[in-house]
Amino acid sequence: MHIVRAYDEDLKFLSSRIAAMGGLAERMVEQSVAALVNSDSGSARKVVADDAMLDAAQREIDDKAVAIIARRQPLADDLREVIGALRIASDLERVGDLGKNIAKRVVAVTAQQQPIRLFRGIESLAELALTQLKDVLDLYASRDVGALGAVRNRDDEIDAMYTSLFRELLTYMMEDPRNITSCTHLLFCAKNIERIGDHATNIAETVYYIATAQQMPADRPKGDKSHVVTLA
């Protein structure tokens, strides 16, 4: 316990705001994917509007962190806590941007009817990425370092599913050129979701650094093979 009670409150504020940012970012991604699947332009517009709230939360965390550093001059554990909050807030802000980007493509994608299996693939990919994000945010709250490695390594599953969906969308475009526009938008949506998994992995690495003062091993899994996909 710090001698200065207000100091503890400052650090708790950062943790609570990270939790709130994480909840909002998760909802934005969930709602954007649901809007995509259900052709719901109203929900898509709400996601775009909610991004301003996430941006404001990041600015609030940035301002608080700078004030803590200036006033308290934290060292060791406390400094890692403050720097970690800054890094995680940045990742969560990007997750919100990726959700917003998906929402912006809803009208373009749904203008032409697409096979339901393509949307099921997007839903499954989003479910994996959101599970990854929720788990790392839970570990930020609990500081359960032992589970971080397994959570980070699950990013391989997201990459493999993204590569499979990438191949399927390319095949569908080749079968009928009329599908090119909407499937291209779906490809961007899938890539945005894959990137959400990467940001969750970044957060896992930051939590490990906060808790241990060390970096996670550098052999970070990266299984996105879309750059080598070829179709006969």
pLDDT band at 1 (very low <50, low <70, confident <90, very high): very low
- Looking at the 3D structure of the chain, how many domains does it have? 1
Q: Write down the pTM of the prediction.
A: 0.90
Q: What is the mean pLDDT of the chain?
A: 91
Residue 80 is part of a domain; what is its CATH number? 1.20.58.220
Average pLDDT over every residue of 211-216: 92
What pLDDT is recorded for position 110? 75
Average pLDDT over every residue of 89-100: 98
Half-sphere exposure of 131 (CA within 13 A, CB side): 12
Average pLDDT over every residue of 49-76: 95
- Helical ranges in the chain per DSSP H: 5-38, 41-72, 76-104, 106-110, 116-142, 148-153, 155-175, 180-212
What pLDDT is recorded for position 107? 84
CA 112/CA 168 separation, integer angstroms: 17
- Distances in Å between the Cα of 164 and the Cα atoms of 168, 170, 191, 228, 229 are 6, 10, 12, 12, 9
Residue 178, domain extent:
5-228
Question: Whose CA is closest to 91, among 124, 54, 125, 64?
Answer: 54
What pLDDT is recorded for position 106? 92
Question: Whose CA is closest to 17, among 76, 60, 73?
Answer: 60
CA 79/CA 73 separation, integer angstroms: 8
Dihedrals phi, psi of 121, to nearest 5 degrees: -65, -40
Q: What percent of the chain has pLDDT over 90?
A: 72
